[in-house]
Each structure stands twice: as C-alpha cells, then as structure tokens.
Amino acid sequence: QQLTEQIERMKVEKQADKRAIAHLRSEADSLNSALLDAHTSIRRQSDHIRKIELDLAQAQDDVAELRKARSSVVVYMASEGYLKENGFLDTSRPFGRVFRKSYKLVRKLDPNDPAVRQVPIGDELAFEGKLEALADRYGQLKKGDDYKKIIHEDGLTRVIFTSETLGGVDVLAIIKE
C-alpha cells in the first residue's frame, strides 16, 4: 500500500516534471526564435548600412566629379570636316564670303566619350597641329578674353582657358586639316 502510494506520487511528480520540461522547451524554442529574428534583423540592418555606405561613397565621388566639371571646360578636338560630318559643328559666313567663317557647336558633348577631355580652367591643353578656332554653342571663343594660345617650336599647340565663365561649358577645338 505504501509502495503503491509512493508509485502514484512519483507518477504525479513525473507528469509535473514532463509538463515543466515541455514548458521549458517551449520557452527555449521561443527564445531561439526571438534570437533568430533578432540576428536576421541585425544582418539585414548591417547589409542596409553597407549599401547606404556604398551609396554615400558613390555620391561623394559624383559630387567631386561635378565640382571638377563645374570648374573645367569640356573639350572635343577634331578637324572641321569630321566635326561637321558627325553633327557637332555648324559653320557660316555672314554676308557671304566678305567676313571670316564663324563656328558654332550644335550638339551636346558626351563627357563619357573617351575623345572628350575635361580641362580645368587655368590648366594647359596641349596637342599636335594648328588650332583653327575654339567654339561653344554661342559661337567662337575670343583669343585673349577666353583663352591663351601658345605655339611651341616642337609643333605642339598649347591652349590655356582663362575665362571663369567657361566652367562646365562644351567647347569644340577645331584643328586645321
């Protein structure tokens, strides 16, 4: 009888222990699930922060490039025939052949084109050949006001843009054929 009571009590304790273990397992599962959610959230935030840092670095590079472009002249050098054939240049002679030929840029330059150069104002642009004219979308640039031209004995022509108003402007350098 006493053994039977003791066996019954142990069965009840065993059931209570099973319930306690099941409850602890449930809590452990809940904690593991919460921990996994927190870990996933932290990983997502870290990835998002990395992406934002990359975007910020790209934006800072773009700002530096835009600042440089703002204080640089965008130059495309070629012969008059090539520039006319490719739709960059328009030429005319006011009042027939009485006056000098005038030049005008008629198509925006692509700064990603490898032939297009960005020349900071005050820096030197050196090239072989003789310069016919420099032209932007309003017409020819004025020697002395907008640029200085230096011709060296070695055959190089050097142009230095001097006018601050040329910052960010597209300019054609028309080379004599």
Per-residue pLDDT of 137-166, as tens digits, reads 998 999 988 999 988 877 788 999 999 889
Instruction: Name 89's bridge partners.
Output: 105
Alpha-carbon separation of residue 142 from 11, 109, 151, 152, 160 (angstroms): 107, 21, 17, 20, 12
Of 177, 171, 176, give the one whose Cα is nearest residue 107: 171
DSSP strand E in 12-61: where?
none
CB proximity list for 145: less than 8 A, separation 6 or greater: 162, 163
Q: Tally helices (H) and strands (E) across the chain.
A: 2, 10
Categorize the per-residue pLDDT at 97 as very low, low, confident or very high, splitting at 50, 70 and 90: low
Per-residue pLDDT of 52-81, as tens digits, reads 999 999 999 999 888 887 888 999 999 999
Burial 92-103 (b: 16+ CB within 10 A, else e): eeeeeeeeeeeb
Task: Report which residue type is found at 175.
Answer: I
